[in-house]
Every structure is written in structure tokens, then in C-alpha cells.
Amino acid sequence: MAPVALEGSGEAEFPVLGIDSGAIERNAARIVDRVDPDVVGVTKGVCGDPRVARAMLAGGAAGIADSRVANVVGLREALQCDLLLLRAPMGTECSAVVENATWSMESEAATLRALSAISTDREVVHRVLVAIDVGDRREGVLPEEFDELLEAAIDLPGVEVSGLATHVGSFGGVVPTRENVGRLVELVERAEERLGRRLAVVSGGSTNALGLAFEGDLPGQVTQLRVGEGILLGTDPVTGEAIPGLETDAIELVAEVIECKRKPSLPEGERSRDAFGQEPAFADRGVRRRAILALGRLDCAIGELTPLREGVEVIGASSDHTVVDVADAGSVEVGDTLAFRPGYAALARAAAAPSVAVAVG
């Protein structure tokens, strides 16, 4: 359990994400020990927090990756390590990318041209990983269009194609397999033949590709995996289960009780949609003791919170309030706090919310 955010009372600022940097370091080290490719720690789930990045690096991560340019800038100010930008930059961000990122993942010739112009003007070379869509239908050039983009990149001064990268799962829910990652490998061979040199980086996926790596099914040409959720939460996004050997209690979200009363479990009166356009359903459980937390959907993905106190049940939430049933949870009073284990979406949203403090210990 994260020692920096224990359930109870006190003068601390709430809501707060408590992050155990020791557990982060140990998870990183265990993953590094189990896979052959370099492990790049992904910090987008904690909004690019440099303290968490340092723990990943201490555990053996070969570098740090993040999807937001602002986070990469903050990481560069705090750290001297390789930094990978995961999401292609907007035009206004290209200057910051050249200045701060070691590599960026790119799939558009227009963006490559913008990076080239800035790099040439500064007399530097920006390294890119060409993003390949092998089936998930999010970012990346389709394999049949790869040669055209590669040719465009080769002719650009100030830009070096250092590798290829792919990702599946986050958008289309596609499961990484030896076959779809193998499509990336086929393009690596073509790119190396055209460039006349070896590619330094073949980035074969994220945490959801760890299963392939653990089973020995990841193609040997893959040199890098980008791992966030596995290090932060110790869970596999493909199965939703804990990854054996990893710690799943590195992070807690703690919120304060601002109301606690006995109320009927069913709303009264004519009903329509809630504030988020949904039609919530409730079971009639009679009158129950319920607590309201100073935490809402603007702060967190409430549906991904697992209560750490026995007897606490999350009933629902609006923008700024979360309602929990505490009838079977013992003594709960106004001013007390309740702790939860966040899923990845809950963690990422909470870390980015200005109203949620982050304590790293």
C-alpha cells in the first residue's frame, strides 16, 4: 500500500494520488529483467511527473515516453535521458519537439516537413520513428503506404528515420499477436534495405505486448517496448488482470467525505438523463447510509475506482460529487477519508486534474 496516501484523517490536501516510488522502481526492474527489448517507461498516466520518471529510470528503464509535448518539456527540464514523444505534434508544437524530444513518432509528411524546417534552421537533426498502423486504426501509416512516406522522409534535411513503431489496443482493442507485430518487422527489413543501414529502434508496442514478450513470442527484431500501465499499476490492459510478479498497490486515490447521511437508495420523482446524458439505474435496497466524496467525474473515471475499505461501494457520480454506500463499512463521518485503487483511466484523469494533488514518496 502506498505509504503517502493512507486512509484516515489529517491536514493533508485531498483528493490526492499517493504514489509509492519504491514500488514503481521495483515494477520497472522486474519487467526489465524479464524482457529482452529495452523498456521505455511511459509517464502519460501520471501526467509526465518527473518523480515517477526517476523511479522508472532507477528501475532500469532505458528512457521515458509521454504523449503530451508539455509533459516532454517538463521532463526535459528535470531529467537528462532519452525522451520519446508518443503523439505526433501539432504544428505549433514542432519547435518544442525538436528542442526537447530525442525521438518523436510520426506518420504525416506535412509534420515531417515542419520538423525538417525547424531542425535545419537550428542546424540539428531530429530523429523520428515512423508510426505504422498494423490494425488498431489509430495513428500510423498503413503498410501499403509506408514506402511513399519513407521516401519523403529520406529527402528531408534535418530529419533522420531512426526506427519504426507500432501500437495496438488503445483504440480498436486489437490484441497484439506475433502476426500483427510481424507486419512491423517486415517493414523494418524494407526500410533498412532502402536506407542502407540498420534501424536503431524497432518499438514493438506497449504494456499490452508484454504478454508476447514474456511468452517468447515477440519477434526478435523488436528492440523496444513502451511500458506505462504495467509499471504504474502492475496490470495487463489486454486481460485487465494483475501481471504475476508485479506490485498492484503502488498508487492510491484518497478523497474526503463531505456528507454522510441515511437516505433512500432509490431517487424520488420523475426521472430523465443525468448530467452526463446517461440514464442511471438503481436497485431498491431500502434506506442506506451514504457518503459523498469531494471528487467527481471531472477529476476521475469514477467507474474504475476499487474501494480499499471493506463494505464501501461506489454508487455513482456527477461532475463534482461521488456517492458511496458505507452502510457496511463501519464508522464513516464527515472529514474522514476513503482510499481507492484506480484503474488506468481513473489514474490518468486524476493525475491531469488540477483539483487532485499528487504525493510521491
Residue tagged active-site, from 26, 30, 44, 127: 44
Same-domain check for residues 85 and 219: yes
- Mean pLDDT is highest, among 6-15, 63-72, 261-270, for 63-72
Point out which residues pair with 38 in neighbouring strands.
224
pLDDT score for 11: 57
Residue 261 designated active-site: no
Q: Is residue 190 domain-shared with residue 316, that is, in the same domain?
A: no
217/289 same-domain check: no
Residue 322 counted as domain residue: yes
- What's the rounded mean pLDDT across residues 337-341? 98
Domain co-membership, 47 together with 176: yes
Rounded to an integer, the average pLDDT of 33-38 is: 97
53 and 143 both lie in a single domain: yes
Given a cut of 60, whether residue 9 has pLDDT beyond it is no
pTM of the model: 0.94
Per-residue pLDDT for 2 more than 50? no
Which domain covers residue 285, as residue numbers? 251-360
Residues 228 and 259 in one domain: no
In a domain, 11, yes or no: no
* Lowest-confidence pick of 100-109, 161-170, 248-257, 342-351: 161-170
Q: Are residues 138 and 105 in the same domain?
A: yes
* 12/335 Cα distance (integer angstroms): 11
DSSP label at residue 23: H
Q: How confident is the model at residue 174 (pLDDT cuts 50, 70, 90)?
A: confident
Give pLDDT, residue 10. Answer: 46
On whether both 145 and 283 belong to a single domain, the answer is no
In this structure, is residue 246 part of a structural domain?
Answer: no
- Residue 50, φ and ψ in degrees, nearest 5: -60, -25
If you average pLDDT over residues 181-199, what whole number do you get? 94
Distance (Å) of CA 7 to CA 26, 169, 194, 258: 23, 34, 58, 15
Shared domain for 35 and 80, answered yes or no, is: yes
The answer to whether residues 182 and 294 belong to one domain is no
Domain total in the chain: 2
Asked whether residue 302 carries a pLDDT value surpassing 70, the answer given is: yes
pLDDT of residue 278: 74
What is the Cα–Cα distance from 31 to 60, expressed in whole angstroms? Answer: 9
Average pLDDT of the segment spanning 103-123 = 98
Looking at the structure, tell me whether residues 307 and 273 fall in a common domain.
Answer: yes
224 inside domain: yes
Q: How far apart are CA 222 and CA 107, in angstroms?
A: 19
Q: Give yes or no: residues 269 and 132 share one domain.
A: no
